[in-house]
Chain A
């Protein structure tokens, strides 16, 4: 099939998936309790009858289920995601304020993961069987097996007590005015504006949380990269190159280059794990992103917020996987012809 068909098919699949997610979140809103008012407004709804009437109208709580679903989708598309009573503002607004910080962390952690993962992968492949290889393997197994909050706690301990060089809380220190919202992502905006004070502060506050995220996940990259390189190393092509006298290091470098794409597509799939780990990391570092918001919302029983955030996560994951699928297809022509 030609690329366009492939692209369209994948797109349709992605959209259908998102549609399915809205079905799930919608169903959850109605399993919430016998009194949906309490769920959407908190206990106070049952106490103030006037407020209750208003909300029954707004959320169409008395209409039949399929109509409610229609209004729900309609609302979603118009960025009306309900009112988040744990934050005291509309969910869409709260999400738009917190999402950029999470994106900052995710991108930064991606960077760290690539650095750590690639370094680990190359080193452990090149010196496979050695103590270095085994150490790296131990490190990433432990990292992957650690609950996200463990790594975060250890980092806080180390960086508050022994090496107090990096801040252990918040996204920006006091007294630093935030850059104008161009891309709405504070780090990028500071960079664009050339506001070095803001940029360096924001960066300093983002390093530890991002590091916490990547320390847990770099193992996935290392492991895949290592096995891919080692596989290629024994291929005929490589043997021929060795026979021609190409140096060992160059040979490994070649194997690495060819494994790169697999790694990149792998990264897109780790988004799922990153988002989950991010929830705990943000909470421990008091980082004002979506992760902190969703926990606050869940513990306050703020259903509109939790369900909207679930959707946001789903969108991010579906998009990442979509991109990964495309990348795979570009790399491996066989996949296009299913």
Chain B
């Protein structure tokens, strides 16, 4: 329904694991030599589904919508500190002006505001927009793949109550979706029940040839006139609806997914090159998980193959974090191997830590989120048994979802709440997948003190921090790789997290299943389930 300026080549990404950006609403873009100025050239003759034209003024407005909604924060753009916002005074007054003047033919006054080159984003014509960064962030184009990069009609927003207040988006749009430029539009919404999509007759790419679609699959105009997505909370119901033919595609997990696996007439989505990180988190600040050798003992005592086989049907890829393999050279610079299952080594580490055979260690609590028990509990029980083999006692505690998440937040928060964070826990019920496809995401979120969310173990190391900071602010690739390699070594040796696997099933222990005689396939979220775990509707192809 919504498109971005820059498209991820779904075929290259999901079939071959290569990250490639193609034109979408932007036909081209370039970067200045110092890496701080990005210019995007936008596509002509594109309209939103409500008829309003798409142009650079829309992109400009949306950019500042996000600025406004985060309360004028300097890290408003995907949590990155890359813009100088000191000159920005775009706010409700400007929005009111835009509402009056409209964006198809903005007034001269509005044009001069939008063309003001002192702002971090300014237009240089109706189809060109320039972003002036404060630092040479090399992955700026990547940031358009996610939620904040989606283009919607800002005039619609302004005509229906505005974007909302800082911290809370106007809820009117929950049931009255904002028009987009994409191949489908929403024609009907019933909260907690269903959403109905219909093909957009005015879609700018509706006449693409099959080879054009194959070259850039996300532009596919779609193969079904109407698609209805129902919300049903019971897995059994979803499975039955699928197998009785009431629906053609359904999310099936856990026990029912086993039935799908056993049934060759059903296919299901698998992410060959996954980015959904599932980790066993250590509380790096409280005894005994604050002792490095204890952590190293634990990471070598777990039978990963068994965990992956039993908890997620074998669909997990061993990784050495904090990155996942889809970022090419930014994944595991230095080529450190994922932690091996080696009981001898584990026992050695434990002895070196001063706890031979586990003597002297208190029992460790492993917290499991009640919402994730279908895969977390079996995984936890296997880990419990594995650790018992080296003398560590683990107590499993299932806690309600809200209780599980309550102590977590930014790195600072996690550090402060360290006493409330359990020694062991799983990072998330559905893993952690990218909000946008830049390698900086996981590095920042998992292991630095700049993490707004995701550094559950409250881990911090100055070498790692400076390497990641450098990656954010430099376009000197070889220097970045050098520092990153050193940082990777530190992480490998300190094991602040036990990177269990990258989940290859979009629902961790389940997936979107379909009858192979009805549907031949589809692509998943270009952010590899970071933004949505639903199939990309316009890529669903009949058998």
Residues of chain A at the chain B interface (Cβ within 8 Å): 42-44, 47, 85-86, 156, 160, 164, 167-170, 174-175, 177, 286, 299-301
Report yes or no: A47 in contact with B370, Cβ–Cβ below 8 A. no
Check B234 for interface membership: any CB of A closer than 8 A. Answer: yes
Task: Give 9 A-B contacts (CB < 8 Å), ordered by A residue.
Answer: A42-B402, A43-B402, A43-B407, A86-B402, A169-B233, A170-B232, A175-B190, A286-B233, A301-B402
For B234, the chain A residues whose CB sits under 8 A away are: 168-170, 286
Task: Say whether, besides A43-B420, A299-B370, A169 and B237 are in contact (CB < 8 Å).
Answer: yes
Report yes or no: B240 in contact with A160, Cβ–Cβ below 8 A. yes
Question: In the docked arrangement, what's the CA distance between A300 and B401, Å?
Answer: 7
Please give the distance in Å from B399's CB to the nearest CB on chain A: 9
Please give the distance in Å from B230's CB to the nearest CB on chain A: 5
Report yes or no: A164 in contact with B370, Cβ–Cβ below 8 A. no
Question: In the docked arrangement, what's the CA distance between A48 and B232, Å?
Answer: 35
Which one, B244, B407, B413, contacts A164 given CB within 8 A?
B244
**Total B residues in contact with A, Cβ cutoff 8 Å:** 24
Q: Assuming A168-B234, A299-B400, A301-B400, what are 8 further A-B pairs, CB within 8 angstroms? A: A44-B406, A47-B417, A168-B237, A169-B233, A169-B236, A169-B237, A170-B233, A174-B194
Report yes or no: B413 in contact with A47, Cβ–Cβ below 8 A. yes
For A175, the chain B residues whose CB sits under 8 A away are: 190, 193-194
Which one, A167, A169, A174, contacts B193 given CB within 8 A?
A174
Main SS at interface, chain A: loop
> Considering only CB atoms, which chain B residue lies closest to A172 in the complex?
B193
For A86, the chain B residues whose CB sits under 8 A away are: 402
Report yes or no: B236 in contact with A156, Cβ–Cβ below 8 A. yes
Question: In the docked arrangement, what's the CA distance between A220 and B230, Å?
Answer: 41
Question: In the docked arrangement, what's the CA distance between A240 and B240, Å?
Answer: 60
> Considering only CB atoms, which chain A residue lies closest to B413 in the complex?
A47
Q: Mark B225-261, 1 if CB is under 8 A from A, else 0.
A: 0001011111011001000100000000000000000
Question: In the docked arrangement, what's the CA distance between A160 and B420, Å?
Answer: 44
Check B93 for interface membership: any CB of A closer than 8 A. Answer: no
For A174, the chain B residues whose CB sits under 8 A away are: 190, 193-194, 228, 230-231
Check B477 for interface membership: any CB of A closer than 8 A. Answer: no
For B230, the chain A residues whose CB sits under 8 A away are: 174
For A168, the chain B residues whose CB sits under 8 A away are: 234, 236-237, 240
Question: In the docked arrangement, what's the CA distance between A177 and B240, Å?
Answer: 23
For B401, the chain A residues whose CB sits under 8 A away are: 300
Q: Mark B205-233, 1 if CB is under 8 A from A, else 0.
A: 00000000000000000000000101111
Please give the distance in Å from B375's CB to the nearest CB on chain A: 19
Check B403 for interface membership: any CB of A closer than 8 A. Answer: yes
Question: In the docked arrangement, what's the CA distance between A168 and B370, Å?
Answer: 23
Report yes or no: A42 in contact with B233, Cβ–Cβ below 8 A. no
> Considering only CB atoms, which chain B residue lies closest to A302 in the complex?
B402
Please give the distance in Å from A44's CB to the nearest CB on chain B: 6
Task: Say whether, besides A175-B194, A286-B233, A286-B234, A164 and B240 are in contact (CB < 8 Å).
Answer: yes
Which chain B residues (376-420) contact chain A, with CB distance < 8 Å? 400-403, 406-407, 409, 413, 417, 420
For B406, the chain A residues whose CB sits under 8 A away are: 42-44, 47
> Considering only CB atoms, which chain A residue lies closest to B193 in the complex?
A174
Per CB-CB distance, the 3 closest pairs between chain A and chain B, nearest first, are: A43-B406, A169-B234, A174-B194
Question: In the docked arrangement, what's the CA distance between A286 and B233, Å?
Answer: 8
Please give the distance in Å from A286's CB to the nearest CB on chain B: 5
For B231, the chain A residues whose CB sits under 8 A away are: 174
For B194, the chain A residues whose CB sits under 8 A away are: 174-175
For A170, the chain B residues whose CB sits under 8 A away are: 232-234, 237
Question: In the docked arrangement, what's the CA distance between A104 and B193, Å?
Answer: 20
For A169, the chain B residues whose CB sits under 8 A away are: 232-234, 236-237
Please give the distance in Å from A200's CB to the nearest CB on chain B: 17
> Considering only CB atoms, which chain B residue lies closest to A297 in the complex?
B400
Question: In the docked arrangement, what's the CA distance between A167 and B401, Å?
Answer: 28
> Considering only CB atoms, which chain A residue lies closest to B406 in the complex?
A43
Please give the distance in Å from B357's CB to the nearest CB on chain A: 36
Please give the distance in Å from A314's CB to the nearest CB on chain B: 25
Please give the distance in Å from A89's CB to the nearest CB on chain B: 13
Question: In the docked arrangement, what's the CA distance between A177 and B228, Å?
Answer: 16
For B420, the chain A residues whose CB sits under 8 A away are: 43
Please give the distance in Å from A39's CB to the nearest CB on chain B: 12
For A42, the chain B residues whose CB sits under 8 A away are: 402-403, 406
Question: In the docked arrangement, what's the CA distance between A43 and B370, Å?
Answer: 16
Question: In the docked arrangement, what's the CA distance between A86 and B401, Å?
Answer: 10
Question: In the docked arrangement, what's the CA distance between A86 and B371, Å?
Answer: 13
Question: In the docked arrangement, what's the CA distance between A299 and B371, Å?
Answer: 11
> Considering only CB atoms, which chain B residue lies closest to A285 in the complex?
B234
Question: In the docked arrangement, what's the CA distance between A160 and B401, Å?
Answer: 30
> Considering only CB atoms, which chain A residue lies closest to B417 in the complex?
A47
Question: In the docked arrangement, what's the CA distance between A327 and B339, Å?
Answer: 73
Which chain B residues (142-161) contact chain A, with CB distance < 8 Å? none
Question: In the docked arrangement, what's the CA distance between A299 and B399, Å?
Answer: 8
Report yes or no: B232 in contact with A300, Cβ–Cβ below 8 A. no
> Considering only CB atoms, which chain A residue lies closest to B229 in the complex?
A174
Please give the distance in Å from B451's CB to the nearest CB on chain A: 17
Question: In the docked arrangement, what's the CA distance between A300 and B369, Å?
Answer: 11
Question: In the docked arrangement, what's the CA distance between A42 and B234, Å?
Answer: 27
Question: In the docked arrangement, what's the CA distance between A168 and B235, Å?
Answer: 11
Please give the distance in Å from B110's CB to the nearest CB on chain A: 38
For A85, the chain B residues whose CB sits under 8 A away are: 402
Question: In the docked arrangement, what's the CA distance between A186 and B409, Å?
Answer: 41
Report yes or no: B240 in contact with A301, Cβ–Cβ below 8 A. no
Please give the distance in Å from B371's CB to the nearest CB on chain A: 10
Please give the distance in Å from A206's CB to the nearest CB on chain B: 16
> Considering only CB atoms, which chain A residue lies closest to B402 in the complex?
A300
Question: In the docked arrangement, what's the CA distance between A300 and B405, Å?
Answer: 11
For B244, the chain A residues whose CB sits under 8 A away are: 164
Question: In the docked arrangement, what's the CA distance between A164 and B239, Å?
Answer: 13
> Considering only CB atoms, which chain B residue lies closest to A168 in the complex?
B237
> Considering only CB atoms, which chain A residue lies closest to B194 in the complex?
A174
> Considering only CB atoms, which chain B residue lies closest to A85 in the complex?
B402
Report yes or no: A160 in contact with B236, Cβ–Cβ below 8 A. yes
Question: In the docked arrangement, what's the CA distance between A47 and B240, Å?
Answer: 44
> Considering only CB atoms, which chain A residue lies closest to B237 in the complex?
A169
For A47, the chain B residues whose CB sits under 8 A away are: 406-407, 409, 413, 417
> Considering only CB atoms, which chain A residue lies closest to B231 in the complex?
A174
For B417, the chain A residues whose CB sits under 8 A away are: 47
Question: In the docked arrangement, what's the CA distance between A44 and B401, Å?
Answer: 13
Please give the distance in Å from B361's CB to the nearest CB on chain A: 27
Question: In the docked arrangement, what's the CA distance between A167 and B240, Å?
Answer: 10
Question: In the docked arrangement, what's the CA distance between A156 and B234, Å?
Answer: 12
Task: Say whether, besides A47-B413, A286-B234, A300 and B190 are in contact (CB < 8 Å).
Answer: no
For A164, the chain B residues whose CB sits under 8 A away are: 240, 244
> Considering only CB atoms, which chain A residue lies closest to B235 in the complex?
A169
For A44, the chain B residues whose CB sits under 8 A away are: 406
Q: Mark B186-197, 1 if CB is under 8 A from A, else 0.
A: 000010011000
Please give the distance in Å from A101's CB to the nearest CB on chain B: 14
> Considering only CB atoms, which chain B residue lies closest to A161 in the complex?
B240
Please give the distance in Å from A209's CB to the nearest CB on chain B: 13
Question: In the docked arrangement, what's the CA distance between A160 and B370, Å?
Answer: 26
Question: In the docked arrangement, what's the CA distance between A164 and B244, Å?
Answer: 9
For B240, the chain A residues whose CB sits under 8 A away are: 160, 164, 168
Which chain B residues (44-99) contact chain A, with CB distance < 8 Å? none
Question: In the docked arrangement, what's the CA distance between A320 and B88, Å?
Answer: 65
Report yes or no: A301 in contact with B236, Cβ–Cβ below 8 A. no
